[in-house]
């Protein structure tokens, strides 16, 4: 994109350009061109957005949920129509290859459709009473103003995971996208607006986490915060939210293992490990960052993997022949290269390990897909790198594989390749993670299942699937006594016969 496109804030149904606002640009990591110019929001902007969301809350809460669903379905329809354009914007703004940029948008569409249907469910329970002529049930109620803070790696999918679930449940939203992918965030909001969302139901404030994010999390009118990002930022959001006794939903890091047993279908595993480790340049919370291989197939598999990487193209993410685009930013590049240096000092570099230079590479942030052979326990084998760096660890047997797999502070995704059904079921039981795949890589979760992890990956919540509704609703227990007399629970029960 040659000339930057200017975007404002979206508050109370209006795109606003505060007159003396500071602005920032997002940068295409393939060529460092500007993708858009955005307002660097202030704490006052954040508070104005919360006030707009608060003002819109009653009207939205009282809109029948199936009607809310119709608007989400219309957003899905528009997103489908514009999928090609949006997918390219994803690729331009964060560098994933176009098929994955389109996949990002498809995941947003899938979730909007799923949540539109949820508008005709939002089930409560009916529960028997201990007394006669008394009826008990639960109903789900929205929480109010919800803050959604999203990362740059799935810049259309994750905002929709959060916002569509919040909206169908009757909440109103203030959305702060990762600064680096503000354009994707703005496009999502534009589509919601075009789909007919009433003013104030979704509000967008671009800007930094330190200013906008903190002001949103600390605003007393906000009851729930949903955050996806790094562990340090997540912990900070959690602590700030705790001061106001808010519900803070966190989706944080991962160090996701693929376990490869010696009875596995190796060519199937090869495709899986390549996609899991180097898809999205390894920048998924679910990325395969550890390959734990049983000794008997270790040499053969690693040989095959490096052969395949010899034919794996790194380059322009818009070119369909490209396997991996640039990493998302200069900061990402620096951090990943630092980890590669750490790896060189503590492990054996087996493949890659360099920044790619010369020609078009010099304009962007291109790294080689990188493989280290390491013992378990090194920093590269335990810390989240969030880049195209795979640690390969040799193990003797299943028990050692599981011990290694579980001995990290994260627990998001996990996978095992084996043809032994008994071992597969043991792995489903034994792997400490929110997600386990059998004979598939650690990435590629579908939206109709809960998504989230244990240990430092999160704090117990799940998004996507019907679990997402639980995050964004309060349960009210309702007792209806139609006996026309005072009945005392716990006291009259014994004599109620
Ligand atoms: C993430 O990286 O934060 O399961 C989300 C997957 C995608 C979502 C990843 N559907 O890999």
Is 403 a domain residue?
Answer: yes
Is 18 a domain residue?
Answer: yes
304 and 172 fall within a common domain: no
Which pLDDT score is estimated for 183? 98
Which pLDDT score is estimated for 493? 72
Which pLDDT score is estimated for 200? 98
Give CA–CA dist 86/187, Å, rounded: 8
**CB-ligand 1 contact for 107 (6 Å cutoff):** yes
**CB-ligand 1 contact for 415 (6 Å cutoff):** no
> What percentage of the chain carries pLDDT values higher than 90?
97
What's the distance, CA 34 to chain centroid?
25
Is 413 a domain residue?
Answer: yes
Question: Which residue ranges in the chain fall short of pLDDT 50?
Answer: 1-3
Contacts 24+ apart (CB under 8 A), 56-64: 56/12, 56/172, 56/198, 56/199, 56/200, 56/201, 57/142, 57/144, 57/145, 57/171, 57/172, 59/198, 60/142, 60/167, 60/170, 60/171, 60/172, 60/198, 60/201, 61/141, 61/142, 61/170, 63/170, 63/198
Q: Are strands 348-351 and 370-373 parallel, antiparallel or unpaired?
A: antiparallel
Q: Provide the CATH number for the domain around residue 174.
A: 3.40.605.10
Per the prediction, the chain carries an average pLDDT of 97
Torsion of CA 109, 114, 115, 116, to 10 degrees: 90
Does the pTM surpass 0.95? The reply is: yes
Task: Give the number of other CB atoms < 10 A from CB of residue 192.
Answer: 27
364 and 310 fall within a common domain: yes
**CB-ligand 1 contact for 339 (6 Å cutoff):** no
112 and 130 fall within a common domain: yes
**CB-ligand 1 contact for 301 (6 Å cutoff):** no
Residue 446 C-alpha to ligand 1 middle, in angstroms? 9
Per-residue pLDDT tens over the stretch 40-55: 999 999 999 999 999 9
64 and 105 fall within a common domain: yes
Out of 93, 100, 193, 251, the active site residue is 251
**CB-ligand 1 contact for 110 (6 Å cutoff):** no
Per-residue pLDDT tens over the stretch 273-297: 999 999 999 999 999 999 999 999 9
225 and 277 fall within a common domain: no
The number of distinct structural domains making up the chain is 2
173 and 272 fall within a common domain: no
Alpha helices in 195-265 (DSSP H): 214-218, 231-243
Q: Provide the CATH number for the domain around residue 331.
A: 3.40.309.10
**CB-ligand 1 contact for 285 (6 Å cutoff):** yes
Is 486 a domain residue?
Answer: no
Residue 169 C-alpha to ligand 1 middle, in angstroms? 23
378 and 425 fall within a common domain: yes
Catalytic residue status for 184: no
Is 488 a domain residue?
Answer: no
Which pLDDT score is estimated for 175? 98
122 and 79 fall within a common domain: yes
Is 401 a domain residue?
Answer: yes
Is 452 a domain residue?
Answer: no
Which pLDDT score is estimated for 2? 40
Catalytic residue status for 285: yes
Residue 463 C-alpha to ligand 1 middle, in angstroms? 11
Name the residue at shortest CA distance from atom 7 of ligand 1. 444
279 and 410 fall within a common domain: yes
**Do 278 and 369 contact (CB within 8 A), yes or no?**
yes
23 and 170 fall within a common domain: yes
Which pLDDT score is estimated for 494? 63
**Do 65 and 209 contact (CB within 8 A), yes or no?**
no
Residue 73 C-alpha to ligand 1 middle, in angstroms? 22
The boundaries of the domain holding residue 279 are 256-438
87 and 157 fall within a common domain: yes
Is 187 a domain residue?
Answer: yes
468 and 419 fall within a common domain: no
Per-residue pLDDT tens over the stretch 100-120: 999 999 999 999 999 999 999
Residue 285 C-alpha to ligand 1 middle, in angstroms? 6
Ligand 1 atom with the shortest distance to the CA of 151:
3
Which pLDDT score is estimated for 495? 59
């Amino acid at each position: 994109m040659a000339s930057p496109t200017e975007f404002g804030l979206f508050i109370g149904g209006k795109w606003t350009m505060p007159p003396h606002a500071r602005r920032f640009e997002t940068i295409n990591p393939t060529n460092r061109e500007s993708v858009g110019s955005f307002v660097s929001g202030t704490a006052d902007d954040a508070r104005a957005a919360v006030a707009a969301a608060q003002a819109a809350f009653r009207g939205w809460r009282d809109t029948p949920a199936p009607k809310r669903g119709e608007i989400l379905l219309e957003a899905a329809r528009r997103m489908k129509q514009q999928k090609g354009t949006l997918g390219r914007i994803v690729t331009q703004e964060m560098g994933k290859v176009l098929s994955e940029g389109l996949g990002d948008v498809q995941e947003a569409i899938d979730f909007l459709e799923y949540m539109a249907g949820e508008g005709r469910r939002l089930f409560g329970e009916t529960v028997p009473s201990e007394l006669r002529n008394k009826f008990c049930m639960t109903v789900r109620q929205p929480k109010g103003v919800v803050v959604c803070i999203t990362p740059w790696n799935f810049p259309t999918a994750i905002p929709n995971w959060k916002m569509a679930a919040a909206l169908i449940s009757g909440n109103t939203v203030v959305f702060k996208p990762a600064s680096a992918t503000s354009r994707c965030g703005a496009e999502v909001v534009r589509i919601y607006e075009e789909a007919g969302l009433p003013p104030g139901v979704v509000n967008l404030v671009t800007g930094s986490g330190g200013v906008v994010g903190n002001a949103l999390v600390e605003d007393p009118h906000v009851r729930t915060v949903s955050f996806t990002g790094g562990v340090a930022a997540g912990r900070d959001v959690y602590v700030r939210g705790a001061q106001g006794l808010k519900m803070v939903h966190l989706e944080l890091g991962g160090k996701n293992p693929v376990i490869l047993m010696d009875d596995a279908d190796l060519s199937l595993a090869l495709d899986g490990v390549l996609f899991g480790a180097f898809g999205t340049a390894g920048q998924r919370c679910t990325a395969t960052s550890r390959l734990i291989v049983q000794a008997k197939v270790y040499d053969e598999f690693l040989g095959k993997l490096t052969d395949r990487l010899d034919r794996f193209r790194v380059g322009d993410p818009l070119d369909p022949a490209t396997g991996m685009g640039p990493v998302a930013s200069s900061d990402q590049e620096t951090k990943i290269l630092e980890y590669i240096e750490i790896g060189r000092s503590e492990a054996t570099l087996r493949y890659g390990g360099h920044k790619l230079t010369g020609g078009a590479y010099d304009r962007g942030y291109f790294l080689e897909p990188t493989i280290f052979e390491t013992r378990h326990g090194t920093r590269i084998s335990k810390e989240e790198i969030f880049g195209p760096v795979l640690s390969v660890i040799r193990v003797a047997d299943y028990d050692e594989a599981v011990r290694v797999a579980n001995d990290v502070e994260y627990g998001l995704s996990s996978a095992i390749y084996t043809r032994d059904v008994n071992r597969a079921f043991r792995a489903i039981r034994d792997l400490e993670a929110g997600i386990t795949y059998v004979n598939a890589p650690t990435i590629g979760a579908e939206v109709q299942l809960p998504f989230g992890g244990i240990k430092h990956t999160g704090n117990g919540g799940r998004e996507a699937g019907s679990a997402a509704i639980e995050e964004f609703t309060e349960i009210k227990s309702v007792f209806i006594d139609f006996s026309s007399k005072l009945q005392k629970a716990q006291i009259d029960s014994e004599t109620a016969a």
